[in-house]
Structure formats: C-alpha cells, structure tokens
Amino acid sequence: MGRAHEVRAASMAKTAAVKSKLNAKYGTLIYMAAKSGIPDPDVNLNLKRAIDKAKREQVSADVIKRAIDKAKGGSVESYESVRYEGFGPNNSMFIVECMTDNTNRTYTEIRTAFSRCGFKLGVDGSVIHMFENKAVFGYEGLGDEETLEMLVMNDCDVDDIVLDDGLTIVTAPSTEYAKIRDCLLEAMPNLNFLEDHITWIPQLYANFTEEKDIEHLERFKNMLDEIDDVQDLYHNVKLPETEEE
C-alpha cells in the first residue's frame, strides 16, 4: 500500500484518548482559538477549524459552547504549547505534544511516564529531526487526478497524492495546510474530511517484536492518556501484523 499506508500508520500512532480526554483536549484548543481572535467561528477561521475537528471526534456541542463562553467571559487562563522528545528500545522515538498552564507540572508528569516505562526523555531537538511535519488530508468524492490538477493550478506545494481503497490521501508540507484545505473546500464545499490534520511522520521505523517492549509501549500510552495536558503522541514504532490488525 506504500506511502498511503505509512501516512495512515502515522495518524494511528496518536494516543487513543477516552471521551473525557477528548473533551479536555478540544475544550482547550477551542478556548485558545477563541481567545486568539474574535470568539465567533464565522469570522475566526482558526476557531472554525478547531470546532470542525472537535465535531469529527464527536465532542459534544455543550463542551464546544462552554469553551467559547469561557473565552467570551474574559478568562485569564493562559496555555502554551510544549513538546517533549524521547527514546525507547530498538531505536524507537517519541514525540509528545502538550498544551499546559503549568510547565513544571507537565514536565514532571511526562518525565515520570517515560521513566516508569523504561524509556528515556531526551532534550529538545533530539528526536524531532527524524520526523517530517506534514499536512495530511483524506477524503472521498474527489479523485487523485482531479485533486492534483486543482492543487497545481492553485500553486499548492504537494508531496504526494494517492488513491487508496476509494480514499484520496494528500500529503504536503505542514506550511501548506491552510492553503490546501481552503482550495479543496472551494472546489467542493461539502467535502467530508476523514483525515484533516498536521502530523509527524517518521523517516525510519522501529520494529517491536518482544512482548515486554509492546507491553511497555501500551503502558506508556495509557499513562499519557491520564495526563490532561497531553494533546498528541507520535512515534516510529511498528508492531507485528497481528497487533496492528
């Protein structure tokens, strides 16, 4: 399946969050987007995109409304994006992206998760250079050739466009995200994105075959799921076929 399969694998590398974690994640994202401009999705495109993503994850309308109302109410809460990088066995590498109002607390919790699972927390830049930051879109209803022609005509920089099981997957530099998304929606306003995000795609993969390594990875994911500040986990681990299916 080639590149399309790798893109999907990278997307699936994100930590699987429970409902409460999703609510916390998107509540913070929507709040920050609303605070960064006018708290109205009709005029604030960043807010509109955050809301669209939340809806695709089935975040309730009540959670979305509370986050916007919180921003309208003049809350003084301040969040910042922080990223942690680390290593595991067999040349495995991890990127943990967080949104926090207390960096000391978040650092301690992330460091503990790495340590208890037998992984090692690295310094800034120790892992990130082995990943590519890409915009990924996946949708049905607009073919790969149509997509290519349209994006080329609109001077969009694209890495790859493939058709896989009826799904058109576009991979591009992360800096092209907004331009490509706007172009696709202009061509087909009702286009339903099955994938629509910026992700970290590893340049090299690490194979986990030992049961203890697989167990440590699952424990690591579970520990991160319990940390509210964690937004996303990316890694370069490939599990045995029976584990992926």
For range 119-134, the mean pLDDT: 96
**How far apart, in whole angstroms, are the C-alpha atoms of residue 118 and residue 125?**
20
Q: Give residue 43's pLDDT band: very low, low, confident or very high (50, 70, 90).
A: confident
**Mean pLDDT, the chain, whole residue set:** 87
Enumerate the domain spans of the chain.
Answer: 15-72, 80-129+204-244, 132-202
Helix, strand, coil share of the chain (percent; to 5): 45, 25, 30
Interatomic CA distance for residues 6 and 4, integer angstroms: 5
Mean pLDDT of 114-130: 96
pLDDT (tens digit per residue) in 205-242: 999 999 999 999 999 999 998 898 898 999 999 998 75
- At the top level of CATH, the class of 132-202 is alpha beta
Tokens of residue 144, six digits: 């790969």
- Domain 15-72 indexed as CATH 1.10.10: yes
DSSP conformational letter for 215: H
**What pTM was computed for the model?**
0.78
**pLDDT on residue 207:** 94
CATH number of 80-129+204-244: 3.30.70.980
DSSP codes of every residue in 80-101 = EEEEEEEE-GGG-EEEEEEEES
Fold equal for 80-129+204-244 and 132-202 = yes
> Over the stretch 100-113, which tens digit does the pLDDT of each residue have?
989 999 999 999 99
| Each residue's pLDDT tens digit, 47-86 | 888 888 888 888 888 989 988 888 887 666 778 889 999 9
